Structure 1
């Protein structure tokens, strides 16, 4: 069975494993890139990307780049195939799974030239536009640029199907904030808690103030470098964190049910 066919098979069972608020960190390093994250209905999936000779290559470090592991082969094309598998009279442009309420954001962490990388990304998604543009298909996957992003004032120049991963240190005017998909920051800037036992009250209040500020702007929150265990996931979710950053998607999905 081909990998694409296998993805199509398992997504049919995704609605049996409903989980919310999961960010699949470094998804491409897992045994089942994309597949496991969708099966567990992760709301956010991350891929690190380098631009090499005009191709968007997926790898954690540049030294780990391997031929054939492109953004197109690992994510864009398989996503488009799933949309093609899930077309019907109610969803003529398709959906990512048989559960039409489920979709996710694909966070592309640009590791080098973000401006050039986005140009190549626009070319790459052109054949699959209805799968990544919510003005054409409300069920489309939202593309979000993180990492090496263009200058903030230039975000308004990009099409709406390309959003950006914001930072709490940045200031956005009324137009720019429309291009911000979420606000992300290192958990270590707020707490040194290791995820065991109870989060210190002082740290919890610090988190809640930050979360409230982002939520007042109608933006969800994600922390990277946060403790990655069941106790931490539950406490972070209870504190109001929208996307729980994890390398253990299936375990996290079960814990958050």
Structure 2
């Protein structure tokens, strides 16, 4: 006797076959749908790395390129001119133009990113601390180094003013005279930033780039003033590097500087690490990482972001 499907079973089998759409087609139809996207999508699947984007403004797309690599520290050189409230960004005067400003390249994009990452709705109503720029690590702060190139005393008030959009939202790390409260953005003044002015402020939402070679003077350079300390790598080691990297004496010096900073609760960064030949640079980077330095100072973010 031949087995025959009932009419209902035949229809069910036909529907089942028709719904077996290849998964690639299903994924294509879902891409961009409300079920697969969310407000803080901008840094989804980006994992944070202890890298400092040296001269970040040199990149074709400043800030965003660094964030796309998971970089947690960026640097902008700023210039101020009399009679102008704008801070311009560039390595030297020939690189300046009216469109490349501190606000347009850094402040405004950060406000946009953090607004997306901190939606105001019923799901976030009970949230007491703001999210940072990285979706994978919402508590991570982004260090924003402001390298002042013009007169520091005259320029720094304009930096303070430029930070207002972030300040107004409560997105800056702050010092209340006793302790630091970490926020999504931690501003570090470097270059010609006026040390005396920053040190004198008992309440502030910006900090100072401490000199790693002289941190033992904790009266002048406490961690509440400079949560990060930087230094010229070549000066620290005495000026010459062999192709095989640091010798034992130089390495011991670097380790001591890092340990001293860490004992005070201060993070470390070394700049001017030789980049050529590449094999030597890679050895030096590895030595710095193994010595415990907190940030890898990098111009080549593609390489640095995969180096670890």
TM-score normalised by the chain length of structure 1: 0.85
Cα RMSD (Å) = 2.5
SS in 2 for 1:188: helix
Instruction: Give deviations 1:117-175, integer Å, cap 9, x for gaps.
Output: 22112212212212224579844210000000214475132643110001133634178
> Bigger shift: 87-96 or 75-84?
87-96
Q: Which residue of structure 2 lines up, in the alignment, with residue 14 of structure 1?
A: 46
Residues 1:227 and 2:258 are matched in the alignment = no
Q: Which residue of structure 2 lines up, in the alignment, with residue 96 of structure 1?
A: 133
Matches within 5 A, 1:171-250: 171-173=217-219, 177-191=223-237, 192=239, 194=241, 196-228=243-275, 229-250=281-302
SS in 2 for 1:179: coil
**How far is the alpha carbon of 1:224 from its aligned partner?**
1.1
Q: Which residue of structure 2 lines up, in the alignment, with residue 5 of structure 1?
A: none
Q: Which residue of structure 2 lines up, in the alignment, with residue 106 of structure 1?
A: 144
Matches within 5 A, 1:144-155: 144-152=188-196, 155=199
> Bigger shift: 100-109 or 82-91?
82-91
Q: Which residue of structure 1 lines up, in the alignment, with residue 186 of structure 2?
A: 142
Q: Which residue of the other structure, out of 61, 64, 85, is the alignment partner of 1:54? A: 85
Q: Which residue of structure 1 lines up, in the alignment, with residue 164 of structure 2?
A: 126
> Bigger shift: 44-53 or 94-103?
94-103
Contact 2:111 2:165 in 1 (8 A): no
TM-score normalised by the chain length of structure 2: 0.72
Q: Which residue of structure 2 lines up, in the alignment, with residue 81 of structure 1?
A: 112
SS in 2 for 1:234: helix
The number of residues matched between the two structures is 246
Q: Which residue of structure 1 lines up, in the alignment, with residue 22 of structure 2?
A: none
Gaps of 5+ in 1: 1-7
Contact 1:188 1:226 in 2 (8 A): yes
SS in 2 for 1:132: coil
Q: Which residue of structure 1 lines up, in the alignment, with residue 205 of structure 2?
A: 161
Structure number with greater CO (CA < 8 Å, separation at least 6) is 1
Compared CA separation, residues 153 and 213, structure 1 to 2 (3 A) = farther
**How far is the alpha carbon of 1:209 from its aligned partner?**
1.4
Contact 2:174 2:182 in 1 (8 A): yes
Gaps of 5+ in 2: 1-39, 276-280
> Bigger shift: 32-41 or 185-194?
185-194
